[in-house]
Structure 1
């Protein structure tokens, strides 16, 4: 990307401030946080569904910020966002019988690999912290066990 003008930098800062609603993010830190979530999901997600929802906040802020960004910044950053979104989709499955439409489609997906501590109960096949979802565990979701050292 060619260098941003001072006006573009200020517009990016202002857009992120509005989208982040008081949280201290930068556009780069939002992308880094989304990349971290995607990598965690690709490796096998080991936290609960509520924690998963909380980690998706960075993508929520990206979505809120995106339309406020200068067009040139969106054009340059779009391939990176599309790549991360594609990786997230590849490492997750949609909620059964639920539309996967904007906005916030990422909240209606489940990691394909969920990690669970060995020996703990698995209500309806879900690891603890996922059992309250309003549908049975999809067949495509695999639960892998780990043991404490």
Structure 2
């Protein structure tokens, strides 16, 4: 098992743009979850880029020392639950029209926001996603 610094550096060498910390990625996941709850206003490319913070956490959890995992798991689980509540599981059908989905264990890629607004909402609706449209009122 590795320290947080070692994991950040290892994942950077594997292709991440920086040696992130767990706090960096938990904060990024929290920001995305909040944006999805409000109605994600950016486009499909930004959304898929933003989802990658959750991938980082998934990869890091396999490498990190147990005490770090135990410290952060309750916060991540709470954010995961909020994300599930703010999204619809369509097994990745809508998002898969625009992005090659990773394996099924990365469940967050198989969901789309309930509130379909802005460019992301338009794109996902064109791929068959169903959700609320606050722009249509």
Category of TM-score, reference length = shorter chain: 0.7 to 0.9
> What is the aligned partner in structure 2 of residue 3 from structure 1?
none
Q: Highest Rg: 1 or 2?
A: 1
Sort the Cα spacing of 1:43 and 1:50 in 2 relative to 1 into closer, same or farther, 3 A. Answer: same
Gaps of at least 5 residues in structure 2 are 94-102
> What is the aligned partner in structure 1 of residue 96 from structure 2?
none
> What is the aligned partner in structure 1 of residue 112 from structure 2?
110
2:7 pairs, out of 3, 8, 15, with 15
Distance 2:38 2:59 in 1: 27
Alignment RMSD: 2.6
Distance 1:95 1:109 in 2: 6
Structure 1 segments of 4+ aligned residues over 6 angstroms from their partners: none
Instruction: State the TM-score, normalized to the length of structure 1.
Output: 0.72
Aligned length: 124
Query: Could you tell me whether the CA contact under 8 Å between 1:48 and 1:130 is conserved in 2?
Result: no
Distance 1:75 1:127 in 2: 36
- Structure 1 position 144 matched with structure 2 position 111: no
> What is the aligned partner in structure 1 of residue 39 from structure 2?
44
> What is the aligned partner in structure 2 of residue 80 from structure 1?
75
- The structure with the largest strand share of the pair is 1
Gaps of at least 5 residues in structure 1 are 1-7, 118-125
